[in-house]
Amino acid sequence: MMESTRVVKALAALAQSTRLGVYRLLVAAGPEGIAAGQIAESLGVSPATLSFHFKTLSHAGLIESRQEGRFVFYFANFEVMNDMVAYLTENCCGGNAETCRPATKCK
Binding residues for a copy of itself (CB under 8 A): 4-5, 7-8, 11-12, 14-17, 20-21, 23-24, 27-28, 30, 76, 78, 81-82, 84-86, 88-94, 97, 99-104, 106-107
Crossing angle of helices 36-43 and 47-59, in 10° steps, is 110
Contact predicate 50/30, CB 8 Å: no
d(CA 75, CA 35): 9
Number of residues this chain uses to bind DNA (CB under 7 A): 26
Residues facing residue 34 across a β-bridge: 74
The overall longest dimension of the chain from CA atoms, in Å, is: 49
We find the least distance from the C-beta atom of residue 100 to DNA, in angstroms, to be 23
State which residue, 28 or 48, has the beta carbon closest to a copy of itself. 28
Assess 105 for contact with DNA (CB under 7 A): no
CA distances (Å), origin 45, targets 22, 52, 66: 11, 11, 21
Site string for DNA, 56-85 (x = CB under 7 A): x--------x-x-xxxx-------------
In the complex, the residues that contact DNA under the rule CB under 7 A are 12, 16, 18, 35-38, 40, 45-56, 65, 67, 69-72
